Each structure stands twice: as structure tokens, then as C-alpha cells.
A and B are shown apart, each in its own frame.
Chain A
Amino acid sequence: MKIRLENVVKTFETFRAVRDVSLTIESGELVALLGPSGSGKTTILRMVAGLEYADGGHIYFGDQDATDIPVRDRGVGFVFQHYALFPHMTVAENIAFGMKVSKVKREKVAIEARVVELLRLVRLEGLGDRFPAQISGGQRQRVALARALSVDPKVLLLDEPFGALDANVRHDLRRWLREIHRELGITTIFVTHDQEEALDLADRVVILKDGHIIQQGTAEEVCRNPQSAFVMKFLGDANVLAAEVRDGKAYASGAAIDVSGMADGKAELYARPADLDWSAQGPGIPASITRVLDRPDGRRVLATAETGEQLEFDVEPERALKAGDGGFVTLRRAKVFALG
């Protein structure tokens, strides 16, 4: 089902959580709403679900205006951050709940068969008789997903679905959710503040800040072509250097890069740790190494430029560098954003 938000606005007391958001999600798409806390991402998700009502604007499900349809009639599957499983019901009873209260009457046998089918889908065969308190966090989240899918929703909505789980489980569940999405092809929106999760999982990432959409696109588009300093910083570690643009070139701490087309004036230069390198001779930004951090997948070097700016960059683990070494930080690539 195609979902369309048109100039949606939501205000809590005096706080404007969502300001004029328009967004189209194609049928079968897997979209991430990514943003820091307070960016309005969860509020948008809850408005699509019908758990909150928009103060202004419209939400369309296909061609139908769903703005005022209450949650119980909207036909969405919602997965809550902390699972919200019914603690007094077994796993099977949790999954069956939606079918039992549905206006569409189902045979008891049909409900049981569907529960078995869903338990298989989320790979929890044989755990139907357990209570939520008796299974692990990752298993609970899968029960929550099975429960949400039990009512054949038109759209699946997940609020920070892996936020409460530890890193390993999160990684597995991410891959698994992707598989389920491919298998069922259901339009899915999920909210996260974890860039890696959004980039790994989603067909399209929608980045939000202060209730606005700042940028949206595929992982490649937002990573390779961030359109603002905020997106650049939010998507991952970035070094920031004060820069000056003159005649199509940006100058920063002794380095210069081509920015043809940009107006002259003060600017900031952003570079990922992988975009910087170290060399004993110039040219580059003169700096001295303050610390070397060894990590399983490489070596991170912290350095202080002569101008006092802190820099972080990655080198191959074989490079023999140590704190106190002097040299030059070189720039492979960078993004420059005008200030103000």
C-alpha cells in the first residue's frame, strides 16, 4: 500500500514536534525515518499508525484519506520499542489476540493454524506455550512482529525495533527483518536513531531534524552526497575544519580543495576519518599525533593540527605510528559547507 503524507503538522502543548512534513512511501518499500531524539520521527510514525492525530495536513493510504481513521480500523501492524507483549498471555495467545478481537470472525482452527504459521515465519516454533517473561529480548521482539503481522496489515510500522537489544542480536535481527520484508513485500516504515541500522536496512532513508525532513534518498545518495553539515555529521564521524572559500577553492589549515561554483566566504570543511591520511612530508595539514587507538578492523589515529584543531583518521594497522610523531595530514576528499 502506498502511503502519502501531505503537509502534516503536530504540536504537543507548545512544542512543535512535526512541522509541515510531506513524504511519499511507495508500495512495498522499506523506509527508515532517521533522526536524533526530538526530531519528530516517532511522532510521524505514530500519526501514520493513528496513535496520534495530525493537527494539520493529510495522510493517505493508497487513495483513501486515512487522517481521521482511528488506529483500530486503520489496518496497520505496529511494533513497539519495548515489545508491549501482553505479559499474562502466552506467545501463542499474544499472536492470536488480533485475530480473536477482529471484526472478521475466524474459526478457532484457522486461528491456531495461522499462529503456527507465524511462529514458523519468525522462527519460534515450539515456543508458543511460553510466557513473554520466559523468553529472551530478541525472541520477544520477534513475537511482537508476528503479532503485528497476524492481522494482515496494509503497512508495517516499527518504532526503534532493535533499540533495546544488544549489538549481536541487533545485527542478526536486522538481516532477518530484511529477509521477512523481501518475503512478504509489505510496505514498511521503521524509526531509528542509529545511522548504521538505517543505512543497512532501508531502501530509502529519510533524515529528520526539528520536525523537518532534511534530506532523503538511498543509502548511497545520502552518504555520498550529504546536502548539509547536519547530515554529514549525523551520518558518521567527521572532522571539522574552519575553511575559507576564495575563487572556487576552499582553504583550511594549510590544505586546499576544489569547490568550483561555491561563493566566496567563511565555510566549514568536513572529512570522514577514512578520507584523511598521514604522511611524513608535506604538503598537508601540519600536525602531531596524540593517540593511536587499535580496533579490530583498523587503526584510528588522533592528531592535533598546528592550528589546534583535533583530527581523527584511519590508517592500515601495519602503519607504524605512535603518539608524539609529527607530520602532515593529507586530504583525499572532503565536503565543504558555507557557514550561516
Chain B
Amino acid sequence: MRRNVLPGLRLSLGVTLFYVGLIVVLPLAALVFKAASLGPEDYWRIISSSRALASYRVTVLSALGATVFNLFFGLALAWVLTRYRFPGWRIVDAMVDLPFALPTAVAGIALTALFTTNGWFGSILADLGIKVAYTPLGIMIAMCFTSLPFIVRTVQPVLEDLDPALEEAAQSLGGSDWEIFRKVILPLLTPALLAGVSLSFARSLGEFGAIIFIAGNQPMSTEITALLVFIRLEEYDYQAAAAIASVLLIAAFVMLALTNWMQSRALRYTVKG
């Protein structure tokens, strides 16, 4: 092994592995263990109950919707923040991190107040016949809010490092603005976009605090999976809670594995030959 400038690999490796084991692996293992203590039949019955299935549907669809929205809006925001300097730039840049800093329950209450039929936004939307609070649309908006920073903050540094000469070269070769964006800039942003998408989606799947205030939490329609887990916990049905949670866990794993694979494909060109 190559000697490193900073010594202490053994110690730091030991400490970090212990920490990861204690904080990440142990709870997940307990979850899997608890779920596994159900027989396969009970496990299947719990995770495929119609109430659970409905919760997966609304959670996954809302998370997908929120992620797609953030993909476009986050990319646009990152673009504006890296390419332009305008009065108040610093404030906008700082505000991107607000959803990280704000307790999600606070965000949830604020969003609910805004979007109920007599709130500032809700009353206008109600006139247009659009209902947000206590519908899946409200869940999506809460997810959008809490997961926005992921895509902005993964794309922004890559955009900043993009060599302006690449765009100039494409221009000198006769490329139009759209062609340059689609054929030069976008492919170079794809790995960062994928990383942002996977984080954003994973966060949306697990979001709880911001959603429960605005969702209305009607079983079979606006009840998210995380809430269902919480309800089972309150009923002291730990096994059922673990079983449903394990579905979320698997979904998050599959999502991360998929985006990792797509990312490594998108980064093929960096491999030295």
C-alpha cells in the first residue's frame, strides 16, 4: 500500500468502520432482522396489503413527480446561479440550502398554511379548481421543497468547472446554442444530474415531517409509506412496521444501484485506456 502523507490509516479506518457499523449498518440490520422474524407468508401479506400498496403508489409517484420537477427546475436554478451575477445573487444562493436547514415539520406547516383553500396560494388555486392541500399534489409540493437543494448542489460545481473553451469551440464549429447545450453541456452534466436525481428521489421516498401536515393522510389515497410505518409503530406492531420499512429500504437501494450504474456508463469516457 502507498504511504500516505497523513499517517494513521489503521486508526482512522477502525474508527470510521466502527462508526458506520454502529450508526448505519446496525439499525438497518435490526430492521431486516425484525422483518425477517415474520414468516414469508405473514411478511408478504403485510407488505402486499391494499393499504400498503396504495401507500407505495402515492409515495413513489409523488417522489417521481417531485424529482422530475426538480430535475428541470434545479438545473435551471444551478444554471442561473453559475452563469449570471445579479443583485441579490448571494441571497438566492443561500436560500437554496434553506430546505436543508429548516426543520421539515416547520416547512410542512408553512406549506399547509399557504396551500389550504383559504391560504395565499390555495385560495387562488381553488378559484382555478385546483386543490393542493390534502391531495397527492400537496405531497409532491412538500417533496419538491425538501429535495430541491440536492440537484442544485450536485450540478452547480460541475457547471462552474466546465471549461468555457468547450462552448467556444462548439460555437466556432458552427453549433447553435441549443445544439451546444444538448450535445456538449448536457452530456457533461449527466453524471452530476443522475447523482442529484438519486439523492432527491431517495430523500422524497423517506420524507415524513414536511408531508404529514399537508397530505391529509387519508388511507388508500394520501397516506405515504413512512406514515404507515409510523402508525404501525404506534400500534406496537414492530414486525409489521419493519416489514413495510424494508420495502422502502429495498426501493432506495435499487434506486441508488440503478443511478450508480447509469453514472458509470455516463462516465465511461474518463477511463484511461
Using a CB–CB cutoff of 8 Å, the interface residues on chain A facing chain B are 49-51, 70-74, 76-78, 80, 82, 84-90, 97-98, 101-103, 130-134, 147-148, 150-151
Contact = CB atoms under 8 A, between A and B. Distances in A.
Nearest to B187: A88
A86 B179 contact: no
B175 interface: yes
A52 to B, nearest CB: 10
B165 A97 contact: no
B272 A97 contact: no
Given A80-B165, A82-B165, A134-B272, A87 B172 contact: no
A54 to B, nearest CB: 17
B45 interface: no
Contact of A72 (B166, B175, B271): B175
Given A71-B171, A80-B165, A87-B188, A101 B176 contact: yes
- Which residue of A72, A77, A78, A151 has the most chain B CB atoms within 10 A of its CB atom? A72
Contacts, number: 82
Contacts of B169: 78, 80, 84-86, 147
Contact of B165 (A77, A84, A130, A148): A84
Interface in B144-183: 163, 165-166, 168-176, 179, 183
Contact of B272 (A78, A80, A133): A133
A101 B165 contact: no
20 contacts: A49-B172, A71-B171, A74-B172, A77-B172, A78-B172, A80-B165, A82-B165, A88-B188, A89-B269, A97-B183, A98-B173, A101-B179, A102-B174, A131-B270, A131-B271, A133-B269, A133-B271, A134-B271, A134-B272, A147-B169
B88 interface: no
B231 interface: no
Nearest to B190: A88
Contacts of A97: 170, 173, 175, 183
B8 interface: no
Nearest to B270: A133
Nearest to A46: B168
- Which residue of B163, B174, B179, B273 has the most chain A CB atoms within 10 A of its CB atom? B174
Contacts of B172: 49-51, 71-72, 74, 76-78, 148
Interface of B: 163, 165-166, 168-176, 179, 183-184, 187-188, 268-273
A162 B163 CA distance: 19
B273 A130 contact: yes
Given A88-B187, A88-B269, A133-B269, A101 B168 contact: no
Nearest to A98: B173
Contacts of B269: 87-90, 131-133
A209 to B, nearest CB: 26
B166 A101 contact: no
Contacts of B179: 101
Nearest to B269: A131
Contacts of B176: 72, 101
Contacts of A51: 168, 171-172
A205 to B, nearest CB: 25
A147 to B, nearest CB: 7
Given A71-B171, A97-B170, 5 more contacts: A49-B172, A76-B172, A82-B163, A86-B170, A88-B188
Contact of A87 (B168, B183, B270): B270
Nearest to A130: B273
Given A71-B168, A97-B175, A86 B184 contact: yes
Contacts of A102: 174
A101 B273 contact: no
A101 B174 contact: yes
Contacts of B166: 84, 86
A151 B173 contact: yes
Contacts of B163: 82, 84
10 nearest CB pairs, A to B: A98-B173, A84-B165, A134-B273, A84-B169, A131-B269, A78-B172, A101-B175, A80-B165, A88-B187, A88-B269
Contacts of A76: 172
Nearest to A81: B165
A44 to B, nearest CB: 16
Contact of A151 (B174, B187, B188): B174
Nearest to B164: A84
Nearest to A144: B169
Contacts of B171: 51, 70-72
A149 to B, nearest CB: 11
Contacts of B170: 86, 97, 101
Contacts of A77: 172
A163 B10 CA distance: 44
B174 A103 contact: yes
A1 to B, nearest CB: 16
A86 B169 CA distance: 9
A109 to B, nearest CB: 20
Given A101-B175, A103-B174, A78 B168 contact: yes
A103 B188 CA distance: 24
A103 B176 CA distance: 10
Contacts of A147: 169, 173
A98 B176 CA distance: 11
B144 to A, nearest CB: 30
Nearest to B186: A88
A72 B168 contact: no
A86 B170 CA distance: 9
A130 B273 CA distance: 8
